Every structure is written in C-alpha cells, then in structure tokens.
Amino acid sequence: MLKSIRDRSNYSFWLLNAAAYLTWLGIVAITLPQLAGQPNRTAILVLFGLFFVGLSIYAFLEERPLLMHLYLLFQVAVSLGLSALVPTSAINHISTLFFILSAQAMLFLPLVPGVIWIAAFTIVTWLAGVSTLGVVNPVDMIAIVGGYLFFGTFGAGLRQANEARQRSQQLLAELQQAHEQLQAYTSQAQQLAVAEERNRLAREMHDSLGHRLTVAVVQLEGAQRLIPINPERSASMIETMRGQLKQALAELRQTVSALRSPEVSAALNGSLGTAVTHLVQTFQEATGLAVNLTLPEDLPLLPEAHRLALYRAAQESLTNVQRHAKAQQAWLKIAADTNHITLSVSDDGQGFGDETADGRFGLIGLRERAKQLGGSLTLGSADEGGARLILQLPVPVVEAADA
C-alpha cells in the first residue's frame, strides 16, 4: 500500500486531491450559513463528514475497480442524501460534488466505465433537480454536464500520464537489468578471451620452442656419442646445436613480443612454400632424416591463420617423427584445390602408440587450430608402414591484400 502511494507521488495526483478537498470545503462553507434553524442540520453535517471520509480513502483504490465502483456508489448515495436534506437554494452547490467524482472516476477506471459513471452523474443530477425543484433549467443542465466532462477529461489525462510514467519506470528497470546482464556477458567474454589467449600462447610456445629444443636435444645426444670416435663431427653437431639454441632464444623473445618467429613471419607474409621448404632443410641438416617434400606449383591465397596452422602442423609433425617414430625418412606433401588445402606428413617408422595418438599437447593444439578454422585433423597409418597426419582446411575467399 505504501508503495502504491509512493508510486503516485506526483504533483498532478496531489493537485487533484487538493482540488477535491478545497471543493468540498467550499461547498460546506457556502452551505453552513443556510442551515441555521434547519431541523436536519446534524444529518447534513454527518453526510458532509461521510463524503470527506470517502475522499480520504479513495486514494487506496487504484487497480481495484470493484472497490472503486462501490466507492462511487457510496458517494452518489451521500450526494443524493444531501440534495434531499439541504435547502433548495443549496442544491446547485451539492451538484458540484459530482465534479470531483467525475475526475476520480476517469482517473481510476478505464474509459468506458468512467464515461458511464459521468452519464450516471448527469442522470442523478437531473432526477434530483426534478424531484426537489420540479423542473430543471436546460442551460444549467448543459453547464453542469460540461463541468462533469471537463473534470472527467482532466482525470483521464492524469490517468494516461500515470500510465506513461509507470511504463517509463518499467522500461528503465528493464534497461537496468539488461545493462547488468550485458556487464555479466562482457565479464564472461573477457574471461573467455583470456582463456583463449592462454591457449594460443601455450600452442605458440610449444610449436616454436618445442621444435627447436627437440632438435637441440637430438644433436646433443648424437654429439655425446661421437666425442670419442669423431671429435670433428661432434664439434660440428655442437655448433649446429648452438645455432639451434640461439634461434630458439630469438624465437622466445619474438614470441613474447609478437609471437612470430622468422619462419612464421615468412609464412604469415604469404610465402608458405618458402617457409615449409626452409623448415624441411633445417630439419634434415639437424637430424639427418630424409624428408621428401612435395609442394603444388601454385598455392591458393590463404588468410594468416590458415598459413600459420599449416606451418605449425608441418613443424609439429616433423618433430614427432624425430622423437617418436624411429623412422629413416618422412614424406611431407601439400595439395590444394578450389575448396580445400591439405597437409599430409607420413613416415616409415613404428607408427602411433596408444598413448601418443591423442594425448600429446602438440596434437591437441593442432586439433584446436583445425577446429577454429573449420577444418579437420586425422591420424592414421601410412602406406610406408609408419604414421600419417593429415590436416585439411577449407580455402576461404581471400583478397590479395588480405592475404
């Protein structure tokens, strides 16, 4: 109830209340001097008091149409009682009470019921005039009906203003709720972006440093075995390892700053074939494994993310061949048509073990890259007896400037 009163705390509503009380007070002030010597003076004062009580409780009848109808019926009965008891000279003043009821009816009731009540007030006024005066002046009746309609219009306008204000408050509440939801979604998006960035950093660190360090470990093992029997070859391998470690350190610095190594920069600048060729040559020099490279004459234009994914897949595959396959040679092939570009890496080694096919971090990273680009990564057996990795990506439409 307090909330209802608070919601209606606007100047128009309280202005109508003040007008109702002042109108009632004016009618009482005009009527009292005419009640001197009247035997029913007390009854008239009681009826005026009942009308005042009604004015004091009607503010609590909003959104209660049944009680509002009962209230209006009660006030009409009180007004009829006053019309029957006051002197004839004061009857016109009593009809002024219906001005108040007209505004209240249009304020708290829909349009049609409110208009019906105004029509009822008109009929009651006419009947009261006929019963007490015997005849009603048509001009006076027109003026009275005009007053009822005027105050009813004011009440209807106030009702529309209140409804508009309530709709504004509701829209404001919905806007605040939407703003809070948007803030929550923004926070979730930021958390997802941070998680995605962490995964991307992990993939980059693994694919760049992991490859270099793996080659360096292989060189170091070989050099250690050759020290007693072939010091010159051992020194050459150590020198190669030193170059690999220096390049790994440079890649680490570039990864921290831009997450791009020299070969990756070449791949991202459009020279995917050149980058893969350099990767294969470096791998053969460092490991001694023969890699048969097959590239198409013309590679399609690819976005940066596609070129990076293909390069990282070639790098990870060759690293796995060296570390796990125990192979003598490997085959790296890139094929492309109008719809897809496919990277295939196979070897003649021992194939994938149960624990390596799905659980290596590098392969997990490659699967994530393929999924993000709408492609696929498959692992299987090669015709040469070892393992085969196939990365297939869709070829999007890319402008030359974008590529």
Query: pLDDT digit string (tens) for 28-62?
Result: 888 888 877 778 888 888 998 998 888 888 777 76
Domain for residue 91, yes or no? yes
Predicted confidence (pLDDT) per residue in 352-376, tens digit:
765 454 446 678 878 888 888 999 9
- Assess whether 297 and 170 both reside in one domain: no
The answer, as to whether pTM is greater than 0.75, is no
Query: Could you say which of 176, 194, 211 is where a domain stops?
Result: 176
Residues contacting 149, CB < 8 A, separation 6+: 102, 118
Taking alpha carbons only, the member of 336, 343, 334, 330 closest to residue 387 is: 330
Output the pLDDT for position 2.
Answer: 36
Let me know if residue 114 belongs to a domain: yes
pLDDT at residue number 202: 67
At 99, the amino acid letter reads F
**293 has which bridge partners?**
332
Q: Is residue 349 in a domain? A: yes
For position 375, which CATH number holds?
3.30.565.10
Counting every residue written for the chain, the total comes to 403
Domain boundary among 143, 158, 176: 176
**Is 69 within 8 Å of 116 (Cβ atoms)?**
no
* Cβ 294 vs Cβ 256: under 8 Å: no
Q: What residues make up the domain containing 15?
A: 2-176
pLDDT at res. 71: 86
Q: What is the SS3 assignment for the chain?
A: CHHHHHHCCCHHHHHHHHHHHHHHHHHHHHHHHHHCCCCCHHHHHHHHHHHHHHHHHHHHCCCCHHHHHHHHHHHHHHHHHHHHHCCHHHHHHHHCHHHHHHHHHHHHCCHHHHHHHHHHHHHHHHHHHHHHHCCCCHHHHHHHHHHHHHHHHHHHHHHHHHHHHHHHHHHHHHHHHHHHHHHHHHHHHHHHHHHHHHHHHHHHHHHHHHHHHHHHHHHHHHHHHHCCCCHHHHHHHHHHHHHHHHHHHHHHHHHHHCCCCHHHHHHHCCCHHHHHHHHHHHHHHHHCCEEEEECCCCCCCCCHHHHHHHHHHHHHHHHHHHHHHCCCEEEEEEEECCCEEEEEEEECCCCCCCCCCCCCHHHHHHHHHHHHCCCEEEEEECCCCCEEEEEEEECCCCCCCCC
93 in a structural domain: yes
- Where is the domain boundary, 148, 176, 204? 176
Looking at the fold, whether 172 and 41 belong to one and the same domain comes out as yes
Q: What is the pLDDT of residue 341?
A: 93
The reply to whether 293 and 171 lie within a common domain is no
* Grouped pLDDT means (10 residues each) for the chain, 403 residues: 44 72 86 80 88 81 81 87 78 80 84 88 80 71 82 80 80 87 77 67 66 73 79 79 73 56 53 87 85 90 87 88 85 92 91 58 81 90 88 79 49
The answer to whether residues 166 and 24 belong to one domain is yes
Q: Identify the pLDDT of residue 201.
A: 65
